[in-house]
Amino acid sequence: MKWIYGSLRLFATFCFKCFGRLEVYGAQYVPRYGPLIIISNHLSYNDPPALFVSTPRVLDYLGKIELFSNRWKSALLRLAKVHPLDRSSTGVDALKTALKVLSQDGAIVIFPEGRISPTYSMQKARQGAAFLAIKSQAPILPIGISGTEKFAPWRMVLPLQRFRVNIGPPFTPPVLEGRIDKNAINAVSDLMMNRVAILLPEDYRGVYEIKKTDAPSFDNCPS
């Protein structure tokens, strides 16, 4: 299984770096060991492979169950450690899956917006990622992706485009005491998404547009 995963990463790296212009910033921020929640904006079906290539960790993903309708595609997704997610359910199964990955010191990728942005700018996040962060208290690694919307998924092996993965410093969610209500979850969610927004060019930030004077300063922050 590990050699198949490694082969997929090697092939994707070859395609993105030889037939495209993948730029990765902040790779030094990725923790090599321990539980990790990776959060990112979501522009395209090209985003998971871009993260796959850009981080040295073995990554687990949650993918909508509709992606698993084809037998061969389903097999490939499972080899890439994508777990089916039924978005029509309450989300309990997704939470259990993510917590299991984290309990085994794994890294789980979450797109908090819950879907590809139709405008390519950040949309309001759903509460699932923030609730997972609060529940697990695992470190959170924010990542901003730009440019993956410029080529179709079928061109993934031959992107011929410049795209960027910008990785910020990890942080831990605040410890909340007592009952966790919607306001608390929303506050943590906004904190998480603002950490992603500052890693993006301004026209990608959408509802999380923030002034640079209000944002943390990162060495790898794009202009």
String of DSSP letters for 148-206 = GGGS-GGGTTS--SEEEEEEPPPB-PPP--S---HHHHHHHHHHHHHHHHTTS-GGG-G
Q: How many residues does the chain have?
A: 223
Question: Smallest Cα–Cα separation from 193: which of 180, 205, 176?
Answer: 205
The answer to whether residue 83 is catalytic is no
Structure tokens at 208: 């999380």
Mention every residue, 6+ apart, whose C-beta is less than 8 A from residue 85: 62, 63, 64, 65, 93, 94, 97
pLDDT of residue 28: 96
In-domain check, residue 221: no
**b (16+ CB within 10 A) / e for 77-103:** beebbbbbbeeeeebeebbebbbebbe
Mention every residue, 6+ apart, whose C-beta is less than 8 A from residue 172: 137, 138, 139, 140
What residue numbers bound the domain in which 8 lies?
2-214
Number of domains in the chain: 1
In-domain check, residue 193: yes
Q: Read off the CATH number of the domain in which 94 is found.
A: 3.40.1130.10
pLDDT of residue 142: 98
pLDDT of residue 73: 76
pLDDT in tens, the chain (223 residues): 666 777 878 888 878 777 778 899 999 999 999 999 999 999 999 999 899 999 999 999 988 777 788 888 788 778 778 888 776 655 688 889 999 999 999 999 999 998 999 999 999 999 999 999 999 999 999 999 999 998 877 676 677 788 999 999 999 988 887 788 899 999 999 999 999 999 999 999 999 987 554 544 444 444 3
In-domain check, residue 80: yes
In-domain check, residue 57: yes
The whole-angstrom separation of Cα 201 and Cα 10 is 28
> DSSP letter at 64?
E
The whole-angstrom separation of Cα 138 and Cα 117 is 26
Sequential DSSP letters for 90-131: -SHHHHHHHHHHHHTT-EEEE-TTSS--TTSSPPPPPSHHHH
In-domain check, residue 42: yes
Report in angstroms the alpha-carbon separations of 43 from 8, 14, 71, 118, 173: 22, 22, 25, 8, 25
In-domain check, residue 92: yes
| Residue from 42, 81, 195, 205 carrying the catalytic annotation | 42
pLDDT of residue 223: 37
In-domain check, residue 223: no
In-domain check, residue 220: no
